[in-house]
Amino acid sequence: MPAWPSNLPWEPNNGEYEETPPDNLIRFKADFGPDVVRRRGIAGVRIIKLPYLFSPEQTESFDNFLRNDLRDGALPFTFNWPPPPRTTTQVSVRIKSIPTYKHRGAGYHDVTVELEVLP
């Protein structure tokens, strides 16, 4: 399984990130009273959105990793998560949506990567 490239930072820009826990609930409308709610399962997918500031070399490395190693994002890879101060462990993740690039000047790019942490 591919791993996040060692020449790229794994901690996001300024330590900022968004994290959405799995939605493992299913709701049913009741004939009367509150909705009926039950757990769907235990294999939910956590979503993390990571903003990075990549140098020109890092942008090229990330593009190569995405295109070649991950087959345009189809393959999972290992990633260190969550960032400090939480305990860092290696998890399997997959690209959830195509990353966005925003040119910052001098070849630098703000790159936002959205990942799903696989169960």
- Each domain of the chain, given as residue ranges in start order, spans 13-117
Percent of the chain scoring above 70 in pLDDT: 96
Please state, for a pLDDT cut of 90, what percent of the chain lies above it: 65
Give the E-state strand segments of the chain in sequence order.
18-20, 25-28, 36-39, 46-54, 77-81, 89-105, 108-117
Q: What is the pLDDT of residues 63-116, one digit of tens each?
A: 999 999 999 999 999 998 876 666 678 899 999 999 999 999 999 999 999 999
Residue partners of 116: CB distance under 8 A and separation at least 6: 45, 46, 47, 48, 93, 94, 96
Q: Which of 98, 95, 94, 96 is nearest to 119 (CA)?
A: 94
